[in-house]
Amino acid sequence: MINMLFITSIIIIVAMFSSKLSQKVGIPSLLLFIGLGILFGSDGLFKIQLENYELVRNICSISLVFIIFYGGFETRWKTAKPIVIRAILLSSVGVFLTAGFVGLFCYYILNIKLLESFLIGAIISSTDAASVFSILKSKKLALKNNTAPLLEVESGSNDPSAYMLTIILLSLMDKPISVNAYIIMILIQFIVAIFISIILAFVTKYLIKYLNLESDNLSLILYVGIVLLVFSLSERLGGNGYLASYIYGIIVGNQKIRNKTLVTNFFDGLIALVQICVFFLLGLLAFPSQLPSIALIALLISLFLTFIARPITSFIILKPFKCSINQIALVSFAGIRGASSIIFAIIATVSTSQIDNDIFHIVFCIVLFSILFQGTLLPFVSRKLNMIDSQGDVFKTFSDYEEENDVQFIKLKINEDHPWNNKKIMDIVLPVDILVVLVLRDSKVIIPKGETKVCSNDILVMAAPGFDDKTEIELKEITIDKNSEWLNKNISEIDISPFKLITILKRNSNVIIPNGRTTIKEKDILVMLM
């Protein structure tokens, strides 16, 4: 036990140094994590024996749930909306086309059995969200024509399609059933996944808002539990758990939720740890000594996938949207394969289907080639295709991006007793960053200058920076009715927990800054700080 903990701690620390090194040398960190697994594996220096495919499959499948959820959570709907149709087509039709092209290549050129050929195509048909997100963020690749959100939505949402196609082909190899049965199964998977994700997203918002957990950290545990519930419940009801996780992530990530910064930081760290775990285990499971026997097949499939199947698929789907050739070429090249493909290969390996080839190591080799070749050269190819947006910010495409403060406007009516009445604008002492931008006098609009005089019955329109809620402050209004336990009591006499403070009291048209001696009356509106 102690030895296992010691080895695990060393692996995590070394992985962190590897991640830092990858940023300097330009090699994707995920490739180094796989390398660490190989180094510690049975064919490596430390000879750790791991041949339990079923165990690795279960660990990686659960990890993939969180990776896919966070892919949806980080997708910023505002920037994704213009490209959502083409992204969905890439993640659905694109997956089927890619699998079909690769399957035909394996069958006619490599002489692999028909269903096994299409199984290989299905397994490697999806792109990897973790790899794409990691490269875009680490290299700060802001791309023209909404290409970054297109890649993010595609890579985050195409794993469910590849998973479903893989399962269908494995079942076909075991016990063929009618086409109608498969169509019904596909429809059920989509309908159940969408239904479960929407319902549980609503439940999450309700629970976070009304549960009032004693510690904000408890809400993080709640999110973990609900993500697992979304996946498992969808699977139990015949739905696609990965699709449900992704849709749930999009809905929750684009809502105004309490402690969103805390949630984002938590899942950032969790996903980083999960990625290290997944890629290290996949490297640990591999036997480099077996790679030479399948290297040629894997290389040929990789070249066909990268330079023929993916480009043709991208062109077929994106050209009707009048995308430029440069954009199509970049989307094609950015189709990086990753952990999900290897996990699907493990699912095929542990299945009862009769498979002749070493699919795990074939796919493992394809993923290595994809991460090393495409992942490393993606920034270079982006520049060569003139697709870098020098004025853009790739982080704006993620849901945790915070907009610049909006300007807010307030109006103030000047009566005869107002201290600003009959004063010039230049003589009025205003707080810093607040400006008088308009004066409404009778039915006239006046653009004020320093010499402009404020008169009785004028309405001043003032501009101020919007409130920047970085501290996760939440304000709530409570209206006092005749049955309220606070009615006719002084503020000092009431228990305001779980609130922190009564900030403002609105009575009729008056706004009162309360103190302990302020008496609460019927129809008062209390603005509470939570």
**Are 489 and 511 contained in the same domain?**
yes
**What is the pTM for the complete model shown?**
0.72
Of the three residues 363, 397, 431, the one that is the final residue of a domain is 397
Instruction: Indicate whether 212 and 333 sit together in one domain.
Output: yes
CB 132 within 8 A of CB 155: yes
What is the model's pLDDT at position 516? 80
422 shares a domain with 310: no
Residue of higher predicted confidence among 229 and 515: 229
Domain at 369, CATH number: 1.20.1530.20
Reported as a pLDDT band with limits 50, 70 and 90, residue 471 is: very low
Tally of structural domains, the chain? 3
Confidence of residue 145 (pLDDT cuts 50, 70, 90): confident
State whether 308 and 360 are in the same domain. yes
Verify that 434 and 291 share a domain, yes or no: no
pLDDT, mean over the chain = 84
> Residue 36: which domain range?
2-397
Examine the domain organization and report whether 322 and 182 are in the same domain.
Answer: yes
**Is 470 domain-assigned?**
no
- DSSP structural state of residue 164: H
Q: Based on the domain organization, do 306 and 357 belong to the same domain?
A: yes
**Domain end position, chosen among 465, 490, 505:** 465
Residue 403, pLDDT above cutoff 50 = no
The alpha carbon of residue 38 and the mean position of all alpha carbons in its chain are separated, in whole angstroms, by: 29
Residue 406 has pLDDT above 60, yes or no: no
Asked whether residue 266 is domain-assigned, the answer is: yes
Q: Which of 243-247, 488-492, 523-527 has the highest mean pLDDT?
A: 243-247
- The answer to whether position 284 is within a domain reads yes
Q: Which of 397, 428, 448 is the last residue of a domain?
A: 397
**What confidence tens digit (pLDDT) does each residue in 131-141 have?**
787 777 777 78
Q: Which two tokens stand for residue 453?
A: 């005089």
Residues 33 and 92 in one domain: yes
Calpha distance 363→382 (Å, rounded):
26
The contacts of residue 378 (CB under 8 Å, 6+ apart) are 135, 139, 141, 333, 334, 336
Q: How far apart are CA 301 and CA 246, in angstroms?
A: 29
pLDDT of residue 20: 66
What's residue 395's pLDDT?
64
436 within a domain of the structure (yes/no)? yes
For the segment 77-102, the average pLDDT, to the nearest whole number, is 92
Domain match, 300 and 425 both: no
CB-side neighbour CA atoms (13 Å) of 205: 14
| Residue 225 belongs to some domain of the structure | yes
Mean pLDDT of 18-43: 73
> By mean pLDDT, which of 86-95, 249-258, 387-396, 512-521 is the weakest?
387-396
Q: What is the CATH number of the domain that holds 486?
A: 3.30.70.1450
Structure tokens at 118: 């299409």
What does the pLDDT read at residue 55? 85
Same domain, 64 and 165: yes
Whole-angstrom CA distances from 199 to 209, 313, 404, 460, 518 are 16, 34, 32, 46, 43
What's the angle, vertex CA 252, arms to CA 225 and CA 89, rounded to 5?
A: 110
Lowest-pLDDT range, 226-240, 328-342, 365-379, 509-523?
A: 509-523
Q: Residue 387 — very low, low, confident or very high, per pLDDT cuts 50/70/90?
A: very high
Is a pLDDT exceeding 80 seen at residue 21?
A: no
Q: What is the mean pLDDT of residues 360-387?
A: 92
Q: Say whether pLDDT at 162 is over 70.
A: yes
pLDDT digits (tens, 9 = 90+) for 188-222: 999 999 999 999 998 888 887 777 665 667 778 88
Give a yes or no: residue 402 inside a domain. no
Exposed, middle or buried by CB within 10 Å (0-12, 13-18, 19+), for 429? exposed
Q: Which two tokens stand for residue 192?
A: 């159940």
**385 and 411 co-located in one domain:** no
DSSP 328-366: HHHHHHT----HHHHHHHHHHHHSSS---S-HHHHHHHH
pLDDT score of 527: 81
Residue 323 has a pLDDT of 94
Task: Give yes or no: residues 52 and 96 share one domain.
Answer: yes
Beta strand spans in 483-524 (E): 501-507, 510-512
Residue 245 CB-density burial (10 A; 0-12 exposed, 13-18 middle, 19+ buried): buried
